[in-house]
Amino acid sequence: MKVLVTGVGGQLGHDVMNELAKRGYEGVGSDIAPVYSGVADGSAVTTMPYVSMDITNAAAVAETIKSVNPDVIVHCAAWTAVDLAEDEDKKAKVFAINAEGTENIARVAKEIDAKMVYISTDYVFNGRGTSPWKPDCKDYEPLNVYGESKLKGELAVSGTLEKYFIVRIAWVFGLNGKNFIKTMLKVGETHDTVRVVYDQIGTPTYTLDLSRLLVDMIETDKYGYYHATNEGGFISWYEFTKEIYKQAGLPTKVLPVTTAEYGLSKAARPFNSRLDKSKLVEAGFKPLPTWQDALGRYLKEIGVLA
Ligand SMILES: NC(=O)C1=CN([C@@H]2O[C@H](COP(=O)(O)OP(=O)(O)OC[C@H]3O[C@@H](n4cnc5c(N)ncnc54)[C@H](OP(=O)(O)O)[C@@H]3O)[C@@H](O)[C@H]2O)C=CC1
Ligand SMILES: Cc1cn([C@H]2C[C@H](O)[C@@H](COP(=O)(O)OP(=O)(O)O[C@H]3O[C@@H](C)C(=O)[C@@H](O)[C@H]3O)O2)c(=O)[nH]c1=O
């Protein structure tokens, strides 16, 4: 099986490539940079085949993907800066990458009859209520530009292809890139107390664990919409931060605040980001380990714990 992975300069793409290598599949990495630009950690992705591709350039996407001719495309590239996406002068670019870029890839996937995996987000929902969102729920109502653009990407994939997996994930952390854990560790070094919202509820996702699931998925033809995060229950960002400092051994105090009290975010975010993952198990896929366990392994991976 030959697999093209977009976004290998980011968190998830990096780990998907290494998982493919581990299982002996032929992986080709791709991102916008001229050469592989992710962390130089000596892992397989750093030496695997790489093609530079700007996903917003439809002609380049068609030419590049056809020349690679993959059986599967795992599309991880995206604009992921949620607050920045709200800036008036950034919106067109956000949609060009997350919506049109995804559509460019889906069109070529159809032409060459490749399976496609599109990674999406809890932010396609409005976050009302307390019930976990089901993967086949169609009551989309994104609250911010990033969420809107990711939803457009979803619709492009499901409207173009039959052989697709749309996998919604949330609160992602991985070695290769920025994330909430790295931010909080940095803030914790210089502050005695941090204020963190307790009214946005969800579950984190460790890219290393998710990559295993994604490769399990592409080995099947169990197409459709899925939700995938780590196990371990639903928590707030406040509770997540408490556990980060506890496991990292930092004395920083965490003060719970409401989103309104926090007041620093440009983009609105859903309060209820609970994702229902029961469909995964029903389809025979192995759930991810708990987020608490994932956090411990991650702190080792990034060198915070021995
Ligand atoms: N991070 C999170 O918390 C969550 C992420 N997701 C989704 O998961 C997926 C993976 O996220 P993650 O690994 O964190 O993302 P990252 O932001 O770490 O990586 C995305 C990569 O895409 C690249 N990219 C941006 N624009 C283009 C372009 N025009 N052409 C080609 N590549 C481009 C980026 O390059 P550059 O850095 O140079 O812009 C970057 O290397 C995304 O689809 C995201 O929407 C879903 C839920 C939560
Ligand atoms: C840094 C910080 C953030 N917060 C809040 C802001 C926000 O509501 C929440 C999380 O902050 P972030 O900026 O990391 O969140 P954000 O970038 O919105 O994270 C999202 O990224 C996109 C790509 C997704 O798809 C989502 O699943 C989700 O992971 O915590 C605090 O309360 N205190 C703090 O000190």
End-to-end CA distance of the chain: 36
DSSP H or E run through 235: strand 235-236
- State ipTM: 0.99
Q: Is the CB of 262 under 6 A from ligand 2?
A: yes
* Closest atom of ligand 2 relative to the 172 alpha carbon: 29
CA of 183 to the centre of ligand 2 (A): 10
Domain boundaries, the chain: 2-177+204-230+275-288
Tell me the C-alpha distance between 123 and 126, whole Å: 7
Could you report the per-residue pLDDT of 113-154, keeping only the tens digit for each? Answer: 999 999 999 999 999 999 999 999 999 999 999 999 999 999
Q: Which ligand is nearest to the CA of 100?
A: 1
Q: Give the model's pLDDT for residue 218.
A: 98
- When the pLDDT of each residue in the chain is averaged and rounded to a whole number, the result is 98
Contacts of 292 (CB under 8 A, 6+ apart): 232, 243, 247
* Cβ(198) – ligand 2 distance below 6 Å: no
**Structure-block tokens of residue 237:** 């960002």
Dihedral over alpha carbons 268, 271, 276, 280 (to 10 degrees)? 40
- pTM of this structure: 0.98
- What confidence score (pLDDT) does residue 126 get? 98
Number of the ligand closest to the Cα of 182? 2
Contact between 172 and 11 (Cβ < 8 Å): yes
Ligand 1 site, residue 161, Cβ cutoff 6 A:
no
3-state secondary structure at position 51: strand
Looking at 3.40.50.20, 3.40.50.720, 3.30.1360.30, 3.40.50.300, the CATH number of the domain 2-177+204-230+275-288 comes to: 3.40.50.720
Please list the residues that pair with 119 across neighbouring strands. 167
Which residues form the catalytic set?
A: 146
Portion of the chain with pLDDT greater than 70, in percent: 100
- The pLDDT value given to residue 299: 98
Confidence band of 70 (pLDDT split at 50, 70, 90): very high
β-partners of residue 167 are 119, 226
Tell me the best of 121, 244, 265 to mutate to test the pocket of ligand 2, counting ligand atoms within 8 Å of each CB and taking the most. Answer: 265
Confidence band for 171, pLDDT divided at 50, 70 and 90: very high
What pLDDT score was predicted for residue 159?
98
Amino acid 21: pLDDT: 98
CA–CA dist 103, 94 (Å, integer): 13
| pLDDT confidence tier of residue 64, bands split at 50, 70 and 90 | very high
Ligand 1 pocket, residue 4 CB under 6 Å: no
